[in-house]
Chains A and B, each alone.
Chain A
Amino acid sequence: MKVTYNWLKDFVEIAISPSALSEKLTMAGIEVKAVVENSGDSVFEIEVTSNRPDWLSIAGLAREVSAITGKRLKRHPDASPVLAKSRQHTEYAIRIEDKTDCPVYTARIIEGVKVAPSPAWLKERLEMVGCRSVNNIVDITNYVLFEMGEPLHAFDADRLQGPCVAVRRARSAEKLVTIDGQERNLSPGVLVITDEKKPVALAGIMGGKDTEVTAATGTVLLEAAIFNPLIVRRGRQLLGIQSEASYRFERSIDWASVDAASLRASAMIIEIAGGKLVQAKRSGSLKRASRSIPLAVDKASRVLGTDITPRQARSMLSSLGFGVKAIGSKGLKVTPPSYRADVKEDVDLIEEIARISGYTKIPTTLPGFIVQEAAVGISDPVRSIKKILVSLGLDEVITHSIVNRGILDGLWRGEGEVLELENPLNKEQDVLRPTLVPSLLGCVAYNLRQKQESIAIFEIAKTYARSGARLSEEYALAIALCGEKKIWHSGGCIQDKPGLLHLKGVIESLFARLGITGYKLAWNEQESIALFQMGSAVLGTLRTLEPALLERFEIKNRGVFVAELAVTELLRHRRVSRRFIPLPRYPAMNRDVSVTVKDSVPAGTLKDAIVRHGGSLLEEAEIIDFYTGKQIENGFKNITFSCRYRSAERTLTEEEVNPVHRAVTEALVREFQARIR
Chain B
Amino acid sequence: MPGYDSKPIREEIERAAQGINSSRELEEFKIKYLGRKGVLAQLTASIPQLAPSERAAFGKEINALKEKIALLVAEKQGSFAGSVSVSSKTPVDVTMPGIAQPVGRIHVLTQLIEEICDIFVRMGFLVMEGPEVESEYNNFTGLNIPLEHPSREAFDTFYLKRAPQDKERFLLRSQTSPVQVRAMKAYKPPLAVVAPGRVYRPDAVDASHSFMFHQIEGFMVDRGITFADLKGTLELFAKTVFGKDISMRFRPHFFPFTEPSAEVDISCIICKGKGCSVCGRKGWLEILGSGMIHPQVFRNVGYDPSRYTGFAFGMGVERIAMLRYGINDIRLFFENDARFLKEF
Chain A nearest CB: distance from B240 CB in Å? 13
A301 closest partner in B (C-beta): B226
How long is the Cα–Cα vector from A486 to B59 in the complex, in angstroms?
A: 47
Contact B102 A379 (CB under 8 A): no
Taking the complex as formed, is A120 at the interface, i.e. its CB lies under 8 A from any CB of chain B? no
- Within 8 Å by CB of A443, from B161, B228, B336, lies B336
How long is the Cα–Cα vector from A368 to B160 in the complex, in angstroms?
A: 42
Chain A nearest CB: distance from B210 CB in Å? 8
Contact A49 B227 (CB under 8 A): no
Of the candidates A28, A372, A399, the one having the most CB atoms from chain B within 10 angstroms of its own CB is A372
Taking the complex as formed, is A673 at the interface, i.e. its CB lies under 8 A from any CB of chain B? no
Residues from chain B with a CB closer than 8 A to the CB of A26 are 251
Residues from chain A with a CB closer than 8 A to the CB of B161 are 419-422
Chain B nearest CB: distance from A16 CB in Å? 18
Taking the complex as formed, is A306 at the interface, i.e. its CB lies under 8 A from any CB of chain B? yes
Given A355-B260, A360-B250: A347 touches B292 (CB 8 Å cut-off):
yes
How long is the Cα–Cα vector from A589 to B74 in the complex, in angstroms?
A: 10
B212 closest partner in A (C-beta): A400
Residues from chain A with a CB closer than 8 A to the CB of B233 are 366-367
Taking the complex as formed, is A375 at the interface, i.e. its CB lies under 8 A from any CB of chain B? yes
Chain B nearest CB: distance from A582 CB in Å? 21
Q: Which residues of chain A in 463-492 are interfacial with respect to chain B, using CB atoms and an 8 Å cutoff?
A: 464, 466, 468-469, 471, 473, 485, 488
Contact A396 B159 (CB under 8 A): no
Q: Is the interface of A mostly helix, strand, loop or mixed?
A: mixed
Which of A131-139, A452-460, A571-579 participates in binding chain B?
Answer: A452-460
- Within 8 Å by CB of A366, from B159, B211, B229, B295, lies B229
Contact B190 A29 (CB under 8 A): no
Taking the complex as formed, is B262 at the interface, i.e. its CB lies under 8 A from any CB of chain A? yes
How long is the Cα–Cα vector from A10 to B178 in the complex, in angstroms?
A: 45
Chain B nearest CB: distance from A208 CB in Å? 25
Chain B nearest CB: distance from A598 CB in Å? 28
Contact A393 B101 (CB under 8 A): yes
Chain B nearest CB: distance from A138 CB in Å? 26
Chain B nearest CB: distance from A337 CB in Å? 18
Contact A366 B236 (CB under 8 A): yes
How long is the Cα–Cα vector from A383 to B260 in the complex, in angstroms?
A: 35
Chain A nearest CB: distance from B188 CB in Å? 11
Taking the complex as formed, is A363 at the interface, i.e. its CB lies under 8 A from any CB of chain B? yes
B74 closest partner in A (C-beta): A590
- Within 8 Å by CB of A452, from B117, B254, B339, lies B339
Contact A360 B249 (CB under 8 A): yes
Taking the complex as formed, is A401 at the interface, i.e. its CB lies under 8 A from any CB of chain B? yes
B309 closest partner in A (C-beta): A303
Contact A302 B309 (CB under 8 A): yes
Taking the complex as formed, is A447 at the interface, i.e. its CB lies under 8 A from any CB of chain B? yes
Residues from chain B with a CB closer than 8 A to the CB of A394 are 104
Contact mask A483-517 → B, CB, 8 Å, 1/0? 00100100000000000000000000000000000
Taking the complex as formed, is A659 at the interface, i.e. its CB lies under 8 A from any CB of chain B? no
Which of A36-44, A198-206, A277-285, A384-392 participates in binding chain B?
Answer: A384-392
Taking the complex as formed, is A370 at the interface, i.e. its CB lies under 8 A from any CB of chain B? yes
Taking the complex as formed, is A305 at the interface, i.e. its CB lies under 8 A from any CB of chain B? yes
Residues from chain B with a CB closer than 8 A to the CB of A390 are 103-106
Residues from chain A with a CB closer than 8 A to the CB of B326 are none
Given A365-B226, A370-B220, A422-B159: A233 touches B105 (CB 8 Å cut-off):
no
Contact A305 B229 (CB under 8 A): yes
Of the candidates A50, A350, A378, the one having the most CB atoms from chain B within 10 angstroms of its own CB is A50
Q: Which residues of chain A in 78-109 are interfacial with respect to chain B, using CB atoms and an 8 Å cutoff?
A: none
Residues from chain A with a CB closer than 8 A to the CB of B42 are none
Contact mask A204-220 → B, CB, 8 Å, 1/0? 00000000000000000
Chain A nearest CB: distance from B137 CB in Å? 15
Task: Give the size category of B's interface with A.
Answer: 35 or more
Residues from chain A with a CB closer than 8 A to the CB of B191 are 370, 372
Taking the complex as formed, is A627 at the interface, i.e. its CB lies under 8 A from any CB of chain B? no
Chain B nearest CB: distance from A414 CB in Å? 16
Contact A450 B337 (CB under 8 A): yes
Residues from chain B with a CB closer than 8 A to the CB of A374 are 126
Taking the complex as formed, is A536 at the interface, i.e. its CB lies under 8 A from any CB of chain B? no
Q: Which residues of chain A in 318-343 are interfacial with respect to chain B, using CB atoms and an 8 Å cutoff?
A: none
Contact B160 A370 (CB under 8 A): no
Taking the complex as formed, is B133 at the interface, i.e. its CB lies under 8 A from any CB of chain A? yes
Residues from chain A with a CB closer than 8 A to the CB of B327 are none
How long is the Cα–Cα vector from A62 to B268 in the complex, in angstroms?
A: 31
How long is the Cα–Cα vector from A308 to B295 in the complex, in angstroms?
A: 20
Contact mask B298-338 → A, CB, 8 Å, 1/0? 00000000000100000000000000000000000111111
How long is the Cα–Cα vector from A383 to B336 in the complex, in angstroms?
A: 19
Taking the complex as formed, is B136 at the interface, i.e. its CB lies under 8 A from any CB of chain A? no
B341 closest partner in A (C-beta): A395
Contact A363 B104 (CB under 8 A): no
Q: Which residues of chain B in 59-115 are interfacial with respect to chain A, using CB atoms and an 8 Å cutoff?
A: 71, 74, 99-107, 109-110, 114
Residues from chain A with a CB closer than 8 A to the CB of B242 are none
Taking the complex as formed, is B11 at the interface, i.e. its CB lies under 8 A from any CB of chain A? no
Residues from chain B with a CB closer than 8 A to the CB of A347 are 259-260, 292, 294-295
Taking the complex as formed, is B154 at the interface, i.e. its CB lies under 8 A from any CB of chain A? yes
- Within 8 Å by CB of B159, from A360, A423, A454, A466, lies A423
A449 closest partner in B (C-beta): B337
How long is the Cα–Cα vector from A367 to B235 in the complex, in angstroms?
A: 12
Of the candidates B166, B211, B259, the one having the most CB atoms from chain A within 10 angstroms of its own CB is B259
Given A386-B110, A425-B202: A393 touches B104 (CB 8 Å cut-off):
yes
How long is the Cα–Cα vector from A100 to B334 in the complex, in angstroms?
A: 49
Contact A401 B190 (CB under 8 A): no
A347 closest partner in B (C-beta): B259
Taking the complex as formed, is A369 at the interface, i.e. its CB lies under 8 A from any CB of chain B? yes
Residues from chain B with a CB closer than 8 A to the CB of A54 are none
Taking the complex as formed, is A523 at the interface, i.e. its CB lies under 8 A from any CB of chain B? no
How long is the Cα–Cα vector from A422 to B163 in the complex, in angstroms?
A: 11
How long is the Cα–Cα vector from A420 to B171 in the complex, in angstroms?
A: 11
Contact B110 A29 (CB under 8 A): no
Residues from chain A with a CB closer than 8 A to the CB of B133 are 419, 432, 464, 471, 473
- Within 8 Å by CB of A233, from B150, B167, B225, lies B150
Residues from chain B with a CB closer than 8 A to the CB of A395 are 104-105, 107, 336, 338, 341-342
- Within 8 Å by CB of A400, from B187, B262, B334, lies B334
- Within 8 Å by CB of A446, from B160, B190, B336, lies B336
Contact B162 A370 (CB under 8 A): no
Chain A nearest CB: distance from B308 CB in Å? 11
Contact mask A388-419 → B, CB, 8 Å, 1/0? 01111111111111100000000000000001
Taking the complex as formed, is B30 at the interface, i.e. its CB lies under 8 A from any CB of chain A? no
Residues from chain A with a CB closer than 8 A to the CB of B71 are 589-590
Residues from chain A with a CB closer than 8 A to the CB of B153 are 50
Which of B16-24, B33-41, B45-53, B192-200 participates in binding chain A?
Answer: B192-200
Chain A nearest CB: distance from B335 CB in Å? 6
Taking the complex as formed, is B261 at the interface, i.e. its CB lies under 8 A from any CB of chain A? yes
- Within 8 Å by CB of B252, from A29, A251, A423, lies A29
Contact mask A433-446 → B, CB, 8 Å, 1/0? 00000000001001
Contact A369 B123 (CB under 8 A): yes
10 closest Cβ pairs, A-B complex: A305-B228, A305-B226, A393-B102, A29-B252, A49-B254, A351-B260, A390-B104, A397-B336, A422-B159, A367-B229
Extra contacts besides A31-B263, A370-B190, A395-B105 (5): CB < 8 Å: A303-B260, A306-B227, A362-B227, A425-B211, A462-B198
Residues of B bordering A, CB below 8 Å = 71, 74, 99-107, 109-110, 114, 117, 123-129, 131-133, 148-151, 153-154, 158-163, 165-167, 170, 172, 187, 190-192, 196, 198, 200, 202-205, 211-212, 220, 222, 224-229, 231-233, 235-236, 249-254, 256, 259-263, 292, 294-295, 309, 333-339, 341-342
Residues of A bordering B, CB below 8 Å = 26-29, 31, 49-52, 229-230, 233-234, 250-251, 302-306, 345, 347-348, 350-351, 354-355, 359-360, 362-372, 374-375, 377-380, 383, 386-387, 389-402, 419-425, 429, 432, 443, 446-447, 450, 452, 454-457, 461-462, 464, 466, 468-469, 471, 473, 485, 488, 589-590
